[in-house]
Amino acid sequence: KDCKKVYFNNPMWPGEAHSLKVENILYRGKSEFQEILVFESSIYGKVLVLDGIIQLSEKDECAYQEMIAHLPLCSISSPKRVLVVGGGDGGVLREVSRHPSVEHIDICEIDKMVIDVSEKFFPQLAVGFQDPRVHLHVADATEFLRLAPEGKYDAVIVDSSDPVGPAQELVEKPFFETIARALRPGGVLCNMTESMWLHTHLIQDMISVCCQIFKGSVNYAWASVPTYPSGVIGFLLCSTAGPPVDFKNPVNSVEKLEGALKHKRELKFYNSEMHSAAFALPPFLRREVSAL
Ligand code: AAT
């Protein structure tokens, strides 16, 4: 009975649960912000869980981190200044640092303990922090963006947890307004935007807020990530007024990107075809997000 209460009462996914077999609990801790758990699963490798919600697994993290980083960065030529919001595991930094044009990467993660746990248990993600272009800010991103200089960034990537707990404000209008202010004209935002099967209302709300704020373009893309609820995750891609951005046709080809990366790990999920395909929407979603 208690099990049912815990598993089926998550406000983000009421009435459903996804199970992974736990081979071994590797870490259990509580930070100032959330409960942190790392376990070894039988099929998906090590898994990071915050407040009972899966953040990543070793097997499928490539799909999420590669798409959330390369969808925006391959859509503009020569991105130089990038902000990552959340992403304390380091996986998005690892992907951003594949781009040779990037000169400066700020990351604003609220919870230092996530960074420490990732360094210990997920070195293949935490490696992202070792790039000398990375500048770490341990802070609440809402506060960080309020103070960010106007027009500083070419791209902002919001790799945040779901909007329960510390990430609540990260889906609200004032937060998007501060992002738009921090972007240069024609700068781009890529925001984790939940599941089209489960959160169409949240997606609709975020799209309508972003259409008011981002005067360039607003697009929705998605990818398959088996360990996220319903097995898919969405990305909202927006640009500010300025040089137009055609998100569906990447300007930086992956071939060029990989050429600069021969010593790093190969891309597993992202390429130019996956990029364009990610913007294809099924009719039910297209109807519901008619703004697109
Ligand atoms: N890279 C995939 C993992 C994540 S982690 C999301 C991170 O956002 C967490 O480390 C969390 O501490 C951080 N975070 C939450 N709120 C804030 C905030 N207000 N300011 C800065 N960082 C924050 C994403 C998983 C996506 C899961 C989809 N279901």
Quote ipTM for the complex. Answer: 0.98
Q: Per-residue pLDDT tens for 99-119?
A: 999 999 999 999 999 999 999
| Residue identifier of the C-alpha nearest atom 26 of ligand 1 | 161
In this structure, are residues 46 and 57 in contact, taking their beta carbons and an 8 Å threshold? yes
Question: Is the per-residue pLDDT at 259 higher than 60?
Answer: no
Contact yes or no for 60/227 (Cβ under 8 A): yes
49 bridge partner residues: 37, 54
Q: How far apart are CA 137 and CA 110, in angstroms?
A: 8
pTM, rounded to two decimals: 0.96
What confidence tier does 165 reach under pLDDT thresholds 50, 70, 90? confident
| DSSP helix/strand/coil, 210 | helix
Q: How confident is the model at residue 138 (pLDDT cuts 50, 70, 90)?
A: very high
Mean pLDDT for the chain overall: 93
Q: What is the pLDDT of residue 1?
A: 56
pLDDT of 199: 87
Q: Is the CB of 160 under 6 A from ligand 1?
A: yes
Q: Please tell me which residue in 60, 106, 159, 162 is annotated as part of the active site.
A: 159
Q: Tokens for 93?
A: 């930094």
Report which protein residue has its CA nearest ligand 1's atom 4.
Answer: 55
Model confidence over 63-89: pLDDT tens digits? 999 999 999 999 999 999 999 999 999
**The predicted structure's pLDDT at residue 10:** 79
Give residue 3's pLDDT. 59
pLDDT confidence bin for 197, thresholds 50/70/90: very high
Residue-wise over 76-93: b if at least 16 C-beta within 10 A, else e? beebbbbbbbbbbbbbbb
Which pair of structure tokens corresponds to residue 172? 């609200």
109 Cβ closer than 6 Å to some ligand 1 atom: yes
Check if 87 has its Cβ closer than 6 Å to any atom of ligand 1. Answer: yes
Compute, in angstroms, the gap from residue 283 CA to the centroid of ligand 1: 30
**What ranges in the chain are assigned the alpha helix state H?**
2-8, 61-73, 91-96, 112-121, 123-126, 141-147, 173-182, 200-213, 254-259, 272-277, 283-288
Ligand 1 pocket residue status of 88, Cβ below 6 Å: yes
| Average pLDDT for 223-238 | 97
Whether 159 is catalytic: yes
Q: Is the pLDDT of residue 287 over 80?
A: yes
Residue 5 has pLDDT above 70, yes or no: no
pLDDT at 260: 60
166 lines ligand 1 (CB under 6 A): yes
- Locate tokens 């407040």: which residue? 51
Ligand 1 lined by 106 (C-beta under 6 Å): no
Q: Which of 34-38, 92-96, 154-158, 257-261 has the lowest mean pLDDT?
A: 257-261
d(CA 55, ligand 1 centre) in Å: 8
Helices (H) and strands (E) in the chain — how many of each? 11, 11
| pLDDT of 156 higher than 80 | yes
Give the per-residue pLDDT at 280.
Answer: 97
Q: Examine the pLDDT at 49 and tell me if it is beyond 80.
A: yes
**Mean pLDDT, residues 174-187 taken together:** 98
Do 95 and 56 touch, CB atoms closer than 8 A? Answer: no
Which of the listed residues 55, 85, 121, 169 should we mutate to test ligand 1's pocket, taking the one with most ligand atoms within 8 A of CB?
55
- Give the pLDDT of residue 14: 84
| Extended beta strands in 61-166, E state | 81-86, 104-109, 134-138, 153-159
pLDDT at 247 over 90: yes
- In testing the pocket of ligand 1, which one of 62, 109, 158, 197 has its CB within 8 Å of the most ligand atoms? 109
Residue-level pLDDT at 162: 87
pLDDT value of residue 263: 52
Q: Are the C-beta atoms of residues 154 and 189 closer than 8 Å to each other?
A: no
For range 226-244, the mean pLDDT: 97
- Pocket probe mutation, ligand 1, options 33, 50, 142, 161, max atoms within 8 Å of Cβ: 161
Specify whether the CB–CB gap between 123 and 47 falls below 8 A: no
Report the C-alpha gap between 71 and 12 in whole angstroms. Answer: 25
